[in-house]
Amino acid sequence: MEAILSANNVSYSYISRYQKVDALKNVTCSFEKGKFYAIMGRSGSGKSTFLSLLAGLDTPTSGEILFEGKSLARIDRNRYRKYDASVIYQSFNLFPLLTVLENVMYPMELQGAKRHDARIKAAELLARVGLDESKHNKFPQMLSGGEQQRVAIARALASGGKILLADEPTGNLDSANEKIVVNLL
């Protein structure tokens, strides 16, 4: 089966305190559609950096990322992130001025969904991650870390991307909610 996403000799460097840091060196791998993959390593080994490159949020220093055989450097990365690559961020990145429900509705509305339809799907996704209606009109800062993480997961699923990139998606969850989320993903 052909890879939906691949990295070919990807390296990434940055300058920190006047020194060059090689976060990634010549990473080559591919990911097939419909399969579940885990990128594992110690803290500071470049996992989040690699996910950021796969999501098109940053550009490799060298090498290339391919989505459906096309280089991310040659396609509209905003469109890629809007329609193709859903991301669950380690730090959640929820909008503090939007309610829980509005945070999950946001990617669907950005894609052109009608508000009513987005509201229904958002409520369904929140239920699937174990957040009932009593949480829908709260703001993210009113929730626990685990609840915020589940909102971020529901939001990533709402965008319906062809690929889902998750940076420690269960890091703030208790064991019961971790099982729910792992089964959902």
Residues 92 and 161 both lie in one domain = yes
**Of 24, 59, 75, at which residue does a domain stop?**
75
**Pairing mode of beta strands 85-88, 19-32:** unpaired
Task: Kindly state whether residues 142 and 153 are assigned to the same domain.
Answer: yes
State whether residue 144 is helix, strand or coil. Answer: coil
Task: For residue 136, give the amino acid letter.
Answer: H
* pLDDT tens profile 83-97: 999 999 888 999 999
Helix (H, G, I), strand (E, B) or coil at 85: strand
- Is residue 136 domain-shared with residue 168, that is, in the same domain? yes
For residue 53, give both structure tokens: 């490159």
Give the CATH number for residue 8: 3.40.50.300
Provide the number of structural domains found in the chain. Answer: 2
Model confidence pLDDT, tens digit, residues 144-172 = 999 999 999 999 999 999 999 999 888 88
89 touches 153 (CB < 8 A)? no
- The boundaries of the domain holding residue 37 are 1-75
Domain end position, chosen among 75, 102, 135 = 75
pTM above 0.75, yes or no: yes
* 65 lies in the same domain as 22: yes
Name the band, by pLDDT with cuts 50, 70 and 90, for residue 120.
very high
